[in-house]
């Protein structure tokens, strides 16, 4: 797993370097955190990006007041020591 801040359109990416199938376990963990902290993640805080075959390859979590606790919990769980600056979204990706 690797984390980095991408520019010029700034966002933080955590790359898992795993298969699409294994990436669904990341999605399940994000859903679990969300259910415990803020409720349904698909209330416009999380967006899924799929490849041309429809396989999940990226989760984009909007960095806003409502999702702040969720993002902090994800970063803590995956042991990312960087803080997500204001205005940057969090991307969880297979690459």
- Residue 8 in tokens: 């010029």
**Is the Cα torsion angle 13, 16, 20, 24 positive or negative in sign?**
negative
Dist CA 74 CA 67 (whole Å): 11
**15 Rama class: left (phi>0) / alpha (psi -120 to 50) / beta:** beta
Taking the model in full, what pTM does it have?
A: 0.85
Range of the domain at 72: 2-93
What does the pLDDT read at residue 9? 74
Query: Which parts of the chain are beta strand (E)?
Result: 2-6, 11-15, 46-50, 56-61, 89-93
Exposed e or buried b per residue across 74-83, where buried means at least 16 C-beta atoms within 10 angstroms of its C-beta: bbeeeebeee
How many domains, the chain? 1
Q: Per residue in 30-88, pLDDT tens?
A: 999 888 887 776 666 889 999 999 999 999 999 988 888 889 999 999 999 988 888 89
Dist CA 41 CA 67 (whole Å): 9
């Amino acid at each position: 797993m690797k984390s980095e801040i991408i520019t010029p359109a700034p966002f933080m990416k955590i790359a898992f370097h795993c298969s699409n199938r294994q990436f669904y376990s990341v999605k399940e963990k994000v859903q679990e955190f969300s259910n415990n902290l803020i409720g349904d993640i698909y209330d416009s805080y999380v967006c899924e990006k799929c490849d041309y075959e429809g396989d999940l390859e990226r989760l984009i979590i909007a960095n806003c007041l409502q999702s702040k606790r969720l993002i902090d919990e994800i970063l803590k769980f995956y042991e990312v020591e960087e803080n997500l600056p204001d205005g940057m979204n969090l991307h969880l990706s297979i690459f």
